[in-house]
Amino acid sequence: MNEPVLVQTDGHIGIATLNRPDVLNALSVELMDKLIDHIEAFDRDPDIRVIIIAGSEKVFAAGADIADMSGATFLDMYDRNNLGRWMRIKMVRTPIIAAVSGFALGGGCELAMACDMIVASESAKFGQPEIKLGVMPGLGGTQRLTRAIGKQRAMEMILTGRFMSAKEAYEAGLVTSVASKEQFLAEALRLAGRIAEMPPIAVKLAKESVNKADELSLQEGLAYERTLFYSLFATEDQTEGMQAFIEKRKPEYRGK
Ligand code: HXC
């Protein structure tokens, strides 16, 4: 019962659920280390085509564990480099959906933004309140929030610590979709299910190409995309997908 992250599978979907309810799923070092280990295990599993990271209906995660950090010095933080290890999430090739209800604050908001899509419940609240603790975002908030909602809005949120509602987050482009509190997890599973029906190699390469948009110039990104597009013609799934279209039947993708 004390496992900070619970894992289960549902068909081709791997689900990791944050499980520290007493402290609003505060992201302890142990939780973050286990979470990335589980995600990497899902990523290596050929049967898993989509990953969901979920909290509870009440809270996604209220940020890094403040009790863990409160007595730390610069050298403690620098030597431990716990956040550096978390950068492994960028290497995960399987699409990841964050299912967010309640608070997604600080490291919790950054964890959601490190995923590829966010399905939110109407009660979701996103924020980077680190400034109120004498620090600032450290897990990607200044970069990913800025890219997601633009400099003007990200600056205001990060400098004041204000929370954003699900509706505002949707309108600003931070989240993929919003569902009721009762339905947000089912909605995330529905989205995952739709992606899991697609040819797995094309899904992974498309994810990689979309994420390159944050890093490459347009010219480089277009060239990168074109190469990945051509390379998919080496897969059986491309033959199957196009053949099935011509024969007017449902394709059967095997990830080959
Ligand atoms: C440790 C936390 C916590 C956190 C809540 N708790 N957030 N413990 N780390 N981030 C604990 C509380 O101490 C309390 O424990 C219990 O969870 C319930 O919280 P309450 O505050 O009583 O609940 P509520 O009044 O509903 O307020 C909810 C809240 C508030 C608004 C989310 O808890 C809050 O402001 N939390 C901190 C949010 C935050 O600043 N996050 C950024 C962290 S820094 P007890 O024992 O009293 O019941 C960060 C850095 C990121 O994330 C970069 C590196 C990863």
- Structure tokens given for 92: 């995960």
Residues 94 and 182 in one domain: yes
pLDDT tens sequence across 78-107: 999 988 888 999 999 999 999 999 999 999
Low-confidence ranges of the chain (pLDDT < 70): 1
| Amino acid 144: pLDDT | 97
| Amino acid 29: pLDDT | 94
Distance CA 62, CA 128 (A): 10
Domain's final residue, options 196, 212, 231: 196
Residues 103 and 141 in one domain: yes
Assess if residue 61 is contained within a domain. Answer: yes
Q: What is the share, in percent, of the chain residues with pLDDT greater than 90?
A: 96
Residues 112 and 39 in one domain: yes
Contacts of 164 (CB under 8 A, 6+ apart): 125, 126, 127, 157, 172, 174
Residue nearest to atom 17 of ligand 1 (CA): 23
Residue nearest to atom 18 of ligand 1 (CA): 23
Active site residue 220: no
Active site residue 244: no
The active-site residue, picked from 16, 54, 61, 64, is: 64
Ligand 1: atom nearest CA of 129 is: 40
Residues 123 and 146 in one domain: yes
| Amino acid 1: pLDDT | 60
pLDDT tens sequence across 43-70: 999 999 999 999 999 999 999 999 999 9
Assess if residue 254 is contained within a domain. Answer: no
Assess if residue 251 is contained within a domain. Answer: no
Assess if residue 256 is contained within a domain. Answer: no
Q: Ligand 1 center to residue 173 CA distance, Å? A: 26
| Amino acid 2: pLDDT | 87
Q: What is the CA radius of gyration of the chain?
A: 19
Closest CA to 54 of 10, 90, 85, 86: 10
Residues 113 and 206 in one domain: no
Ligand 1: atom nearest CA of 133 is: 40
Assess if residue 252 is contained within a domain. Answer: no
Active site residue 107: yes
Q: Choose the residue to mutate in 32, 33, 57, 66 for probing ligand 1, maximizing ligand atoms within 8 Å of C-beta.
A: 66
Domain's final residue, options 157, 173, 196: 196
Tally of structural domains, the chain = 2
Residues 127 and 229 in one domain: no
Residue nearest to atom 25 of ligand 1 (CA): 24
pTM for the complete prediction?
0.97
| Amino acid 86: pLDDT | 86
Q: Ligand 1 center to residue 28 CA distance, Å? A: 12
Residues 177 and 161 in one domain: yes
Residues 109 and 213 in one domain: no
Ligand 1: atom nearest CA of 65 is: 9
Where residue 214 sits, what CATH number does that domain have?
1.10.12.10
> Which sign, positive or negative, has the C-alpha torsion 181, 52, 167, 58?
positive
Three-state secondary structure string covering the chain: CCCCEEEEEECCEEEEEECCHHHCCCECHHHHHHHHHHHHHHHHCCCCCEEEEECCCCEEECCECHHHHCCCCHHHHHHHCHHHHHHHHHHCCCCEEEEECCEEECHHHHHHHHCCEEEEECCCEEECHHHHHCCCCCCCHHHHHHHHHCHHHHHHHHHHCCEEEHHHHHHHCCCCEEECCCCHHHHHHHHHHHHHCCCHHHHHHHHHHHHHCCCCCHHHHHHHHHHHHHHHHHCHHHHHHHHHHHCCCCCCCCCC
Residues 22 and 126 in one domain: yes
Assess if residue 137 is contained within a domain. Answer: yes
Which residues' Cβ are closer than 6 Å to ligand 1?
23-24, 26, 62-67, 83, 103, 105-107, 129-130, 133, 137-139
Assess if residue 177 is contained within a domain. Answer: yes
Assess if residue 9 is contained within a domain. Answer: yes
Residues 31 and 121 in one domain: yes
Q: Choose the residue to mutate in 19, 24, 86 for probing ligand 1, maximizing ligand atoms within 8 Å of C-beta.
A: 24
Residues 150 and 63 in one domain: yes
Residues 48 and 133 in one domain: yes
Q: At what angle do helices 151-160 and 141-149 cross, to 10 degrees?
A: 140
Where residue 65 sits, what CATH number does that domain have?
3.90.226.10
Range of the domain at 236: 200-246
